[in-house]
Amino acid sequence: MARSAEPSSTGQRAYHGDPMDTPTSPFEAYDEKIAAAELRRYRKKGPNPWTQALVDALVAEGVQGTTLLDIGGGIGAIQHELLAAGSVSATSVDASSAYLDAAREESDRRGLSGRVTYHHGDFVEVAGSLPLVDVVTLERVLNVYPDWERLAELSAEHARRLYGIVIPRDTPFVRFVIRLINFNLRRQRKGLRAAVIPIDGVDRILQRKGFSRQVSARVGPAWQVAVYRRM
């Protein structure tokens, strides 16, 4: 799965890319230009603030010696940061081949290619073939997936210890921006849609899977970071 749109400098979720309305996956529309631009920014400035907040929260919970499953990991910022912080290996799943290629390029540049396994596809469809891990992350993924509850359930089942997410905050401002984004996507006949995901709904699903929320942090006007630990 591809990552969701980035906020602009004002905090609004500014949609980037040209998702194609295809019968397979709308996330393939995150093309090489978008992935290359994000990779250049990451190399120059490091992780985005919401990414860094999620990484910091996970590191505080303990990632030394852990295995990671990064769903919709984009250019691989979370993978690279957690491997640098002590994780021993990572599995990356993304429905955008352009993002996977960018993540591989960065892994190779850092000498980490032997520690990351890449899978191209929709996590929900390939979940049965993926390993259980210590840490699962979904950064700005639940809010662009058509059946976010199913995605949350399946992904939680793969986490032995920690589960981390970044989702839009549920505020009138964010809802207004998302309505504008979806209006433009419909006009362009694109298949991708964004949504506000209720954190209490995520809590309920994770609680049923044996997790409790340990961290909840706001990052700017648009994003919320949450980390769950298996009880």
Largest CA distance in the chain: 47
pLDDT of 30 above 90: no
Cα–Cα separations (whole angstroms), residue 228 to 7, 156, 205, 209:
24, 10, 11, 11
Q: What pLDDT score was predicted for residue 26?
A: 55
Q: Name the residue with higher pLDDT: 207 or 4.
A: 207
Class in CATH terms, 6-230: alpha beta
pLDDT of 19 above 60: no
pLDDT of 8 above 80: no
Write out the two tokens for 97. Answer: 């081949």
Q: What pLDDT score was predicted for residue 176?
A: 96
Cα–Cα separations (whole angstroms), residue 32 to 28, 41, 74, 105:
10, 14, 11, 12
**Percentage of residues of the chain with pLDDT beyond 70:** 87
pLDDT, tens digit, for every residue of 146-190?
999 999 999 999 999 999 999 999 999 999 999 998 998 889 887
pLDDT, tens digit, for every residue of 118-157?
999 999 999 999 999 999 999 999 999 999 999 999 999 9
Domains of the chain, by residue range, sit at: 6-230
The answer to whether the CB of 198 falls within 8 A of the CB of 170 is: yes
Q: Which residues pair with 215 in a beta bridge?
A: 227
**Percentage of residues of the chain with pLDDT beyond 90:** 80
* Residues in Cβ contact with 52 at an 8 Å cutoff, skipping those fewer than 6 apart: 46, 81
